[in-house]
Structure 1
Amino acid sequence: MLKRIDLRGSGDVARGLLPRARFDVAAAMAEIQPLLDEIAHHGAAPIRAVTAERDGVTLGDLRVPESASTAAVRALDPALREAVEQSITRVRAAHAPQRRPDLVTEVVPGGTVTERFVPVDRVGLYVPGGLAALASSVVMNVVPAQLAGVPQIAVSSPPQRDTGLPDATILAVCRILGVEEVYAVGGPAAIGMFAYGTDECRPVDMITGPGNIYVTAAKRAVRGIVGIDAEAGTTEIAVLADDTADPVHVAADLISQAEHDPEAASVLVTPSEGLADAVDAEVKRQVDRTRHSQRVTIALSGPQSGVVLVDDVEHGLAVVDAYAAEHLEIQTRDARELAMRVRNAGAVFVGPYSPVSLGDYCAGSNHILPTAGCARHSSGLSTATFLRSIQVVEYTREALAAAAPHVVTLAEAENLPAHGAAVTARTAGA
C-alpha cells in the first residue's frame, strides 16, 4: 500500500524525490478565482449560488441565529462537553504565555523605541466541516485570538445538507467560547466572504484556519487584501523512526492522519528496513478495521504517501527537514535530543507517548499548522499570529541633535537631502 523510496547510499535529501501530492495550490487558484471575483463584485448572491450547487443547501441568511448555537449547547453530550472544555483549558494554558508585553528600549540617552504588540481588529476564522467537521478547530482558532485581545471574531463553517447550519458540535463550541458571529458558509466562498464582505458580514483584517486545497488556494488569492496565518491545507504526517519504534504505533499514526482526506499525506522515514516491513504489515491489518478504510486506503496509496529508506537517523533528520512536515513524529533513541535539532516542521511530537492525535485535541499545542513544505518559512497558529508590532519612536531635542550629522550624511548619500533638512530644521543652533 505504501510505496517505497530508497535513498540509502545516495545521501540525497532532494525535495523532488520525496512523496508529495500531484495537485498543487497554484492549479487550484485558477479554479476558484472566478468565484472570488464574483463575491468581490456581487457579495452574497454568488455565495448562495455555489452553496446550493455544491453543498445542496439553499441559504437564507448567511449568519447563523444565536438560538441555533444555544440549542446546540443544550443538546451536547456531557462527555463531549467535558472533553471540549478540557481542550480549551489546555490550549489556553499553552497559548497564554505567547501574549507579548510591550518592549521599551533606550537606544541612546533621550531616545527610545517602544515596540507595541497590538491585536488585529477583526478576524475571520475558518472551520472545516466537509469529510470531517472539525469542532476542535474552533478551539484552535478562537482561543489564541481571544488571548491576543482581538475585539471582533467571526467564525464560518460549511452548512450541513440536513440542517442548513454548520455542524451542531461546531456551533456548540462557538457558544461555549462566547463567539456570537457565526456563518453557514464553507470552502472558498467563506474566504471570499471574509475578504470582501457582504451585506451581513463586514470584511475582516485577517483570515485563519485549516482547509482543503481549495480553501488554501483562496487564502493565497486574497493574501494582501487581508492577512492570513499560513497555508494550512490538506493534512500530512511524517514519522522519523528507527528500530526501537513500535510498528503498531507507527501504523496507527499514519492511518490517523490518512482518515482526514483522500489527499492526506502519511510518510515514514526510517533506516530500518525491518521496521518498514513490520509497519507495512501492520497498516494492512489496521486499515481493514478502521471506519474510513476506503478513504485511508486512497490516501496511503497516493503519491503523497510512502516509506523513505535512509542510511541512518542523521540522514533521516536531513530528509524530514527537507520535507518540512506539518506534523513530525520522532520515534527513535534519544528522541528529544533529535527533536530539538529539527529546523523545519509545523509541530514535533516526541517519543512513543506523544502521537499527533494528542496534538489535534488535548496536548495544548495548536493543530492549525503550515502544510506542503510551508513549515520552511511559516509557523503554526498562535496568540502571536493575531498581534501586530507597532514601533513608537520618541527622541528629545538633544538626542535628535546628536543623531543629526549621521542622518544628514546618510540622506546625502542616498540623494535625499530633504530628509536631512527635516532634522536640521529642528536642531539648528542646538
Structure 2
Amino acid sequence: MQQVRPILADVKTKGDAALIEYTQKFDQITLTQDTIRVSEQEITEALAATSSAYQASVKRAISNLQRYHEKQRPKNYEIDFPYGGGYLGRKWEPLESVGLYVPGGRAPYLTACYMLGVPAQLAGCKRRVMCVPPERKSGKVNPQILVSAALSGISEIYKIGGAQAIGAMAYGTETIKPVRKIFGPGNVYVTAAKLLTFGVVDIDMPAGPSEALIIADESANPAYVAADLMSQAEHDLESAALLVTTDASLVPKVKAEIERQISTLKRAEIIKQALTKFGAIIVCPDLEVAVEIANDYAPEHIQILTKNPRPLAAQIKNSWHCLYWECHSHCER
C-alpha cells in the first residue's frame, strides 16, 4: 500500500505526465502523450500479424462466452404495491463505462481480454476501456492481446500497466477519461491500487494469486494432470496448484510428466518456484475425502478428472470455478 499511494497521488495530480514517467521507470518504455493510446493502425497491424487459426480460436471462445453469459442477463420486474396504487420493482441498467485491466508483465493474459470484454459488451456498457502494459522489447502491446480485444469489441486500449493504469481509469488524465467500475486481475500492486481507489471508482474484487486443485482417480491422464497443474503455476510465483488423488500410482506418473513437459516451457522457472512453494500432492482413501479437502481448501479453480465427475461436481460448495472434463489447460493458455 505504501508503495502504491504515491503512484496514485502522482497520477491524480500530474495526469499523463505521471503515466509516461512510471511507464519509463517500470517498463523501460518511452511513451508520449500521443502514443499512450493504441492506434487503429496498431490494431490493424496486429490483425494482419496473427494467424487465421489463432483468430478462429478466439472467435470460438467468444461465441462460447456469449452463450454462457447470455444466461446471466438479469431481468427487470415490477409488482403492484398494495397501498396507494404504486409499484415496487427492480431495474437493471448497464454501467456507462468500465475499465478492463489485462496483465501483461510476465506473460500476456490473452483470455482476460474476452473474459472481461464479452460480458461488458453483452451488458450494454457503451464505453469499454482496456489498459495493458506494453512489451519491453517492442514497446507495443502484444499483437495477440490486441486481436483478442478487438474481436471482443474493445477499441479503446491504452499501453499502461500497473498501479498507474488503475489510477488513470479511476481519476482520469488528459488522455484517459475516468470509468465507473474497474474489472480484471493483476499483481499485488494492481490489487492495492484497486483497493485504494475504491470509493472513487467501483471495483470487482481484490483478486489474489491463482489457485487450482485437481481431484483425480485412476482414470486420469497424468499428462493432462501435469499440464493443468502447470497452467496455474505459471501464472505467478505465488500461484498454488494441488493434486488430490485416490490413486497413489498416479503420483510418480504426474511428477514424471511435469519434468518432461516443463523443459519445453518458457515460464519453467516460475512454475518450478510456484510448485516448490505452494504445490502439493495429497493421496486420500476415497473421493468423499477428496471433496471434503477441496471444500475446506476452497480454491479459485477446481478440476475433476474422474470416471463419473458430475455427481462430485454437485458436492463442490466452495469454489469460484469448477471444471469436470479432461483437458483444462487449453482454457488457460
Q: Calculate the TM-score normalised by the size of structure 2.
A: 0.91
Root-mean-square deviation over aligned CA pairs: 2.1
Instruction: Show structure 2 runs of 5+ residues with no match.
Output: none
User: What aligned pairs does 1:346-425 form with structure 2 within 5 A after superposition?
Assistant: 346-351=320-325, 353=326, 355-360=327-332
Q: Is 1:118 paired with 2:93?
A: yes
Distance 1:107 1:312 in 2: 54
Partner of 1:264: 239
Distance 2:203 2:223 in 1: 37
**Residues 242 and 138 of structure 1, relative CA distance in 2, 3 Å threshold:** same
**Residues 178 and 312 of structure 1, relative CA distance in 2, 3 Å threshold:** closer
Partner of 2:65: 91
Kindly provide the CA deviation profile for residues 57-94 of structure 1, in whole angstroms up to 9, marking residues without a partner as x. 01102222222212222332211111121111111111
User: What aligned pairs does 1:60-209 form with structure 2 within 5 A after superposition?
Assistant: 60-61=32-33, 62-108=36-82, 110-209=85-184
SS class of match (1:320): helix
SS class of match (1:150): coil
Tell me, yes or no, if the aligned pair for 1:69 and 1:174 is still in contact at 8 Å: no
Distance 1:357 1:204 in 2: 33
SS class of match (2:214): strand
Partner of 1:383: none
Q: Calculate the TM-score normalised by the size of structure 1.
A: 0.72
Tell me, yes or no, if the aligned pair for 2:121 and 2:153 is still in contact at 8 Å: no
SS class of match (1:283): helix
SS class of match (1:325): coil
Deviation at 1:184, TM superposition (A): 0.5
Deviation at 1:155, TM superposition (A): 0.7
Kindly provide the CA deviation profile for residues 345-372 of structure 1, in whole angstroms up to 9, marking residues without a partner as x. 1210114x2x3334337xxxxxxxxxxx
Tell me, yes or no, if the aligned pair for 2:117 and 2:153 is still in contact at 8 Å: no
Partner of 2:22: 50
Distance 1:106 1:322 in 2: 44
Tell me, yes or no, if the aligned pair for 2:227 and 2:329 is still in contact at 8 Å: no
Tell me, yes or no, if the aligned pair for 2:301 and 2:322 is still in contact at 8 Å: yes
Deviation at 1:245, TM superposition (A): 2.6
Query: What fraction of aligned residue pairs are identical, expressed as a percent?
Result: 36
Give the number of aligned pairs.
330
Distance 1:311 1:220 in 2: 42
Deviation at 1:116, TM superposition (A): 0.5
**Residues 192 and 278 of structure 1, relative CA distance in 2, 3 Å threshold:** same
Distance 1:33 1:311 in 2: 49
Rg comparison, structure with higher value: 1
Deviation at 1:107, TM superposition (A): 4.6
Relative contact order, CA 8 A, sep 6+: which one is greater? Answer: 1
Q: From 201, 218, 242, give the equivalent of 2:193.
A: 218
Tell me, yes or no, if the aligned pair for 2:23 and 2:160 is still in contact at 8 Å: yes
User: What aligned pairs does 1:264-303 form with structure 2 within 5 A after superposition?
Assistant: 264-302=239-277
**Residues 197 and 115 of structure 1, relative CA distance in 2, 3 Å threshold:** same
SS class of match (1:340): helix
SS class of match (2:2): helix
**Residues 94 and 262 of structure 1, relative CA distance in 2, 3 Å threshold:** same
Partner of 1:364: none
Tell me, yes or no, if the aligned pair for 1:215 and 1:233 is still in contact at 8 Å: no
